[in-house]
């Protein structure tokens, strides 16, 4: 959801962003229960309010899939210059349509919507090199203090994760690190 805010600032030339995938719950870490209290409470108190303010459609996902395959596919889509379109297609499938985006079918469908070759995106998702790249990105992010998404790491070393970080940064307010 925050990518819309970040993309608008990026398009306006206000900020320069390095987009990196970060897997929140890689195996064997447990996934959240889609209808568990944590998600329902957080979404009711924060996510839906933010989405409404931004004019963005979003629904509590029916699934909590591993994100390894979609994130590896995002690395490839970025190499093809189509990351934004591919991310948007995955967002629509997951947060608007309630689909499990960690399936070959949904990765291929997102690829088609983004103007990418479906078979190539599936091959990229399973690529050992891209999986290794994800692991390295996660190691570097965790070493830098990343604990959630979206995360902002400013040039001055300040960090923030969660909603509203970019607005705080652009308003000259301190970022709020979360533990």
Mean pLDDT of the chain: 90
Using CA atoms, how far residue 9 sits from 15, 16, 152, 156, 165, in Å, is 6, 8, 13, 19, 12
* pLDDT reading at 10 higher than 70: yes
Query: What number is the average pLDDT over the span 35-59?
Result: 87
pLDDT band, very low/low/confident/very high, at 178 (cuts 50, 70, 90) = low
Query: In this structure, are residues 161 and 148 in contact, taking their beta carbons and an 8 Å threshold?
Result: yes
Q: pTM for the complete prediction?
A: 0.89
Query: What number is the average pLDDT over the span 27-42?
Result: 84
Grouping H, G, I as helix, E, B as strand and the rest as coil, residue 12 is coil
Query: What number is the average pLDDT over the span 37-61?
Result: 88
Q: Specify the pLDDT at position 136.
A: 97
Q: What is the dihedral of CA 117, 21, 3, 65, to 10 degrees?
A: 80
Task: Give the integer Cα–Cα distance in Å for 86 and 68.
Answer: 15
Using CA atoms, how far residue 114 sits from 20, 89, 179, in Å, is 19, 7, 35
């Amino acid at each position: 959801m925050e990518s819309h805010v970040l993309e608008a600032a990026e398009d306006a030339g206000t900020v320069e962003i390095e987009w990196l995938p970060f897997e929140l719950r890689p195996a064997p870490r447990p996934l959240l229960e889609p209808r568990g209290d944590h998600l329902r409470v957080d979404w009711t108190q924060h996510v839906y309010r933010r989405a409404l303010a931004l004019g963005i459609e979003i629904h509590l996902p029916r699934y909590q899939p591993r994100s390894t395959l979609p994130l590896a596919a995002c690395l490839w889509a970025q190499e093809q210059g189509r990351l934004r379109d591919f991310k948007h297609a995955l967002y629509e499938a997951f947060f608007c349509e309630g689909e499990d985006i960690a399936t070959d079918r949904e990765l291929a469908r997102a690829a088609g919507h983004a103007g990418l070759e479906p078979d190539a995106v599936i091959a990229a998702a399973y690529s050992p090199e891209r999986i290794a790249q994800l692991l390295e990105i996660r190691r570097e992010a965790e070493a830098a203090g990343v604990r959630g998404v979206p995360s902002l790491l400013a040039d001055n070393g300040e960090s923030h994760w969660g909603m509203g970080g970019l607005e705080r940064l652009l308003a000259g307010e301190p970022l709020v690190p979360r533990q």
